[in-house]
Amino acid sequence: MKSQIALHASRTSTFCLLLVISGATAHAGIFHRKTKPLSQKDDALASVASNQPDKELFDRAMRALKKGKFDIARLDLQTLLNTYPDSEYAMRAKLAIGDTWYKEGGSAAMQQAEQEYKDFITFFPDKPEAAEAQMKVADIYYKQMQKPDRDPTNAIRAQEEYRAMILQYPDSSLIPQARQKLREVQEVLGDHEFTIGSFYQAQQNYVAAGARLQSIIDSYPLYSRVDEALIDVGDGYAAQAKSIQSLRLDAAAKERLHALYMHRAQQAYDRVILEYPMMPHADDARDRLEAMGLPVPQPTEQAVADSAAIEQSRAPINLKYKAFLLITSRPSTVQAARVGNPSLANTTEVLAPSIVKETIADLSWAQKPDGKPAPSRPYLSNRVPAEPLLSNNAPLPGMPSTAAPSTGQPANSLQLNDVGGDNVQGGTVDQNQAAPQTAPQPPQAVQPPVGSGAATPQGTKPAAAQPDAATSGQPAVWPSAAPDNGGLKKVAPKNSTPLPASTDAASAPAQVNDVPEGARSSAMPQDEAAQNGKKKKKQKAPKFTSGQESSSAHKKKKGLHKLW
């Protein structure tokens, strides 16, 4: 019994000792987590122990912004700016107001965000956050870009804002990101111009196509299809060179103009090989140069390495991404380069009217090369200076000589085909006597009928024009071309026998039912009184018989009227 009591007492004392120890540890805070006050949260602009009201407003606005309560966040931030204008949080609050509009989204909200960011740059131009504000302005237009076949206004504005950010804040940590965004924007703009240029190229409108494609070459050197644009420009010049044969120019002018266009085509093909040797269409440029019989240039090792690095940086387009592009309105930027310096300068836009004017200047130079050298197109390249074209009759590089053949006439005279008339002299048109004619002129010579034995001797002066057959009574003869017909064979009808003189038409035979004039008059007797001019007497009406006719109309009775 005593042993049980002693065991119970020991257990009780042990339990009490445990209670005392647990109470002490609980009082020491071992089993309780100590909460960190809000004022001691990390913040780059506030001290750890700060508990000021402007700090409380800023923290509450940031919590509301994270939860998507944009109106509450803007209200707290605006209260902070109005109540504590000298607070250390004022600058961050001004920038955060723009962030609330930016994250809210929508066209109206984006406009408000742009205005807030522009105001921040105006008030704090030297702060590091100004570069962030400028970056957000460019991102606003980047997010609103559309596909290349739509309106490119947002893409153009995004390009301007990214360029401004790179040029104004070159030391910012956001420069690499801005450069990459600019490459993607220029990829979208390049697709827009290339789509239009390809359409004009398919329609064989080489002037309009050249304007669009040349703008791509000059403005977007990192565009993924710039090599194809150069190939199309060269093909356009080659097609124009082939169409020169249909122009009404002398042989020397045609040869000179043909060499000019072929030289420009060669320049376009050379640029593909020299500047973009690792792009897909470099082999096409080599094939075209070999087909033209021209030398193929060799690119430098540095150009090959740079082109290879740019091409390897482009991401491939898989089938999943192609399917995604069908359901999204955002443009594709996967093919944009990841390395290289994007174009930061605004190049002069190439317009179709300027190409038309210079094409006319090319025609004038081809006809009169002694006046001035052939015009070189300044927009041929703004990166690599175009080689000056040779003037006068000097041959172009890789082209045959364009010296005019000795024909006894000046090289700059415009040769035309024979056109019958008084102003024709030796196969050319006399510029002093040429005038628009409103009526056909008499021929210079006539060709006698076949078999008459009369022919004009060679080398003699042609006879004067014969008078018209209608006025002289002589049969008409066939006119011939001018004596000097440029070496062509004279053309005349196979049967040139004159037609017989015209005679009066014979009277038509009488018809079966026609009655002769005499018989017609005898068959139609007339009253003698009428022939004598006297008035014809009125004939008496027949006697009325009431038994057979009615009294009202003197008609024969019908029906029941027969009874009375």
For 115-135, the pLDDT digits (tens) are: 999 999 999 999 989 999 999
297 domain residue, yes or no: yes
Give the per-residue pLDDT at 316: 85
Is residue 475 domain-resident? no
The band of 328, judged by pLDDT with boundaries at 50, 70 and 90, is confident
* CA separation for the pair 98, 104 (Å, rounded): 10
Percent with pLDDT over 70 in the chain: 57
- pLDDT bin (cut points 50, 70, 90) of residue 346 is confident
Provide the residue count of the chain.
564
Confidence band for 194, pLDDT divided at 50, 70 and 90:
very high
- Model confidence over 380-394: pLDDT tens digits? 443 433 333 333 334
% of the chain surpassing 90 pLDDT: 43
Does the residue 285 lie in any domain?
yes
How many CA atoms, within 13 angstroms, populate the side-chain half-sphere of residue 231? 18
Which residues have CB under 8 Å from 172's CB, separation 6+? 128, 131, 135, 165, 178
Q: How many domains does the chain have?
A: 1
Per-residue confidence at 166, pLDDT binned at 50, 70, 90? very high
CA distance 135 to 444: 81
Q: How deeply is 366 buried, as exposed, middle or buried, from its count of CB atoms within 10 A (0-12, 13-18, 19+)?
A: buried
| CA 184 – CA 190 distance, rounded (Å) | 10
Can you read off the two tokens belonging to residue 329? 């309105």
pLDDT of 458 above 60:
no
Has residue 273 been placed in a domain?
yes
CB 117 within 8 A of CB 137: yes
Residue 310 lies in a domain: yes
Please give the residue range of the domain that contains residue 363.
204-320+358-398
Cα–Cα–Cα angle for 244, 246, 252, rounded to 5 degrees: 55
- The confidence band for 284, taking pLDDT boundaries of 50, 70 and 90, is very high
Q: Closest by alpha carbon to 465, among 437, 444, 435, 448? A: 444
How many Cα atoms sit within 13 Å of 239 on the Cβ side? 15
Which class for 37: exposed (0-12), middle (13-18), buried (19 or more C-beta within 10 A)?
Answer: exposed
What are residue 447's DSSP bridge partners?
A: 478
More confident residue, 55 or 429: 55
* CB-neighbour burial class of residue 328 (10 A; exposed 0-12, middle 13-18, buried 19+): exposed
pLDDT at site 547? 62
Cβ count within 10 A of residue 373: 13
Is 427 inside any structural domain?
Answer: no
Averaged pLDDT of the chain: 73
pLDDT at 550 (0 to 100): 56
In a domain, 501, yes or no: no
Phi, psi at residue 428, to the nearest 5°?
-120, 165
pLDDT for the residue numbered 150: 92
> Which of 17-21, 151-155, 252-256 has the largest mean confidence?
151-155
What CA–CA distances, in Å, run from 470 to 424, 442, 445?
27, 15, 19
> What is the distance between the alpha carbons of residues 544 and 303, in angstroms, rounded to a whole number?
131
DSSP letter at 244 equals: G
Query: Is residue 545 one of the residues assigned to a domain?
Result: no
